[in-house]
Amino acid sequence: MAEGQFPLVDVLKNGLCIGCGACFAFDKRVAVVWNDQGFLEANFLEAKFGEEVEKNHAIFLELCRKVCPFSGNAANEDELGNEFFSSKCSRHSPELGWFIKTYVGAVVDPTLRRQSSSGGIGRWLLQKLISGTYVDACAHVIPGAVVGDDNLFCYHVSHDAGELTHSAQSAYYPVTLKSVLELIEQEPGRYAVTALPCFVKAIRLLQLQSETFRERIRYVIGLFCGHLKSRFYAEMLAWQMNVPGTVKAVTFRDKSRAIKANEKGFVVWTAEDNKQHGPRTISDLFGASYNLGLFQHKACDYCDDVVAELADVSIGDAWLPEYISDPLGTSLVVVRDPLFVDMLEEGRARGELWIEPISPLKVVESQSGGFRHRREGLAYRLYLNESSGIWYPPKRIRPSAAIPRLRRKIYLMRLLLREESFNAFRKAKMSGEFEVFRAKMQPLINRYISLYRPSLLERILRKLRSIFL
């Protein structure tokens, strides 16, 4: 295929395809395959050509561009938010988008809460949707081993509340919506879908172009997101566990030994004997800290949505001092559809939920690092691209270098850590020695951490304040 005809050439060439599979809905040639960085991405060359596709070639290419969340032809989050929520919601903020109410809370059932991400409200809402008369099925991420998938995690469509018990607690691993979209297209019904912000955007873009998806996907439950991880992240953690044999399954969020909500446990199950190894606290494993950004998807550096602004309801962790001490986790909830306000209030009245209103400013505060990286940091990264003549997708944030020098150094180090983590891990795998990875990354991590240390002058001033104030 000639380059000029190649769909989404800018997105693919610049490594910004997240593998959502939305383009497959309009071009059945699309395959979603693993790339050499351990991410899923669209591949138009490996798929089969069909007579109908060739006949409507130009139309399909244009539709593919319109549904890609990182395309230069797609509507942005503000435009989509106005389309889907301005008539439903009375409040709006630059960080949260349109919303009706914001809550903090958790499910009362300790078992459900322990088995869920954050406070368990996301899974509780799915159960209510599918148990009532709202949807016929829910598309959610589960461990691949549950359904015989070779990948550690994958999307699955559940048709009853019992199947939802297999939902992944947290899946820091690439997945694709391709099979889900194919099923929804083929099987009429009402569906709910859980998704990260970029996937939520893809769904909304699809709904603008397709009455089928607009009618059948009734509700989208979004998840707050720091960034997407490569499959190498799970491999790196499992490698340090020294597990014998093949990794069959992992969990990133075991709560059994946690004292605080942010003390996530990592567990591995081996294929040969289905034996459990761990949990090991994530913070005890090298390179595991999410804030380091190792094995991060490049597209995440071009995203300005932290809280899934386009979902009917968004859920994330309450990373706030007053809640982080609870090891079972606490949920923040941003509601954009009146149905979910009613559900949450009824759940509180029945004693199924502990939930209360929280200030939208506190929700933003809980994700302050993410907003800084995707607003201030994004502006600087766009400036770097613009200065170098490198293509980037249109964003709501404008390019700017008007930030302190230290912040520029921090963002540059994050770019370096992301890129070098892939190079170092590739070399470590070739040598068969994990220490090759550690030796390469440790100096870079040390340099990055040093940027957050107070200067000598700051330390002296703090000491003086402690003495005289």
Dist. CA 466–CA 460, nearest whole Å: 10
Q: Where are the alpha helices (DSSP H) in 132-264?
A: 178-186, 197-209, 211-216, 231-240
Amino acid at 376: E
Domain's final residue, options 292, 318, 337: 292
Residue 306 shares a structural domain with residue 287: no
Residues 111 and 134 in one domain: yes
CA–CA dist 275, 272 (Å, integer): 8
Q: Is position 440 within any domain? A: yes
The two structure tokens encoding residue 92:
């709006």
Residue 20: how many other CB atoms lie within 10 Å: 30
Please check whether residue 403 lies inside any domain of the structure: no
What are the tokens at 243? 């597990």
Are 137 and 194 contacting, i.e. CB atoms less than 8 angstroms apart? Answer: no
Query: How big is the chain, counted in residues?
Result: 469
Rg (CA), the chain: 22
Tell me the pLDDT of the chain (469 aa) as tens digits: 333 444 578 898 899 999 999 988 887 778 899 999 999 999 876 444 445 545 555 566 677 888 999 998 899 999 999 999 999 999 999 999 999 999 999 999 988 888 888 889 999 999 999 998 899 999 999 988 888 889 999 999 999 988 888 887 788 999 999 999 999 999 999 999 999 999 999 999 999 999 999 999 999 999 999 999 999 999 999 999 988 788 999 999 888 887 888 888 899 999 888 888 988 998 899 999 988 999 999 999 999 999 999 999 999 999 999 999 888 889 999 999 999 999 999 999 999 999 999 999 999 999 999 999 999 999 999 999 999 999 999 999 999 999 999 999 999 999 999 999 999 999 999 999 999 999 999 999 999 999 988 655 555 556 556 555 5
Domain range enclosing 253 = 231-292
Q: How many domains does the chain have?
A: 4
- Same domain, yes or no: 14 and 58: yes
460's enclosing H/E stretch is: helix 456-468
| 99/192 same-domain check | yes
Q: Are residues 191 and 106 in the same domain?
A: yes
DSSP 296: B
**Residue closest to 16 by CA, chosen among 289, 206, 228:** 228
Q: Where are the alpha helices (DSSP H) in 160-274?
A: 178-186, 197-209, 211-216, 231-240
Query: Rounded CA gap, 395 and 347, in Å?
Result: 38
179 shares its domain with 133: yes
Instruction: Say whether both 222 and 177 belong to one domain.
Output: yes
Q: Are both 344 and 461 inside the same structural domain? A: no
Question: Would you say residue 42 lies in a domain?
Answer: yes
Q: Which residues contact 307 (CB under 8 A, 6 or more apart)?
A: 95, 96, 97, 197, 222, 224, 314, 316, 334, 363, 367
pLDDT of residue 45: 64
Instruction: Name the residue type at position 136.
Output: D
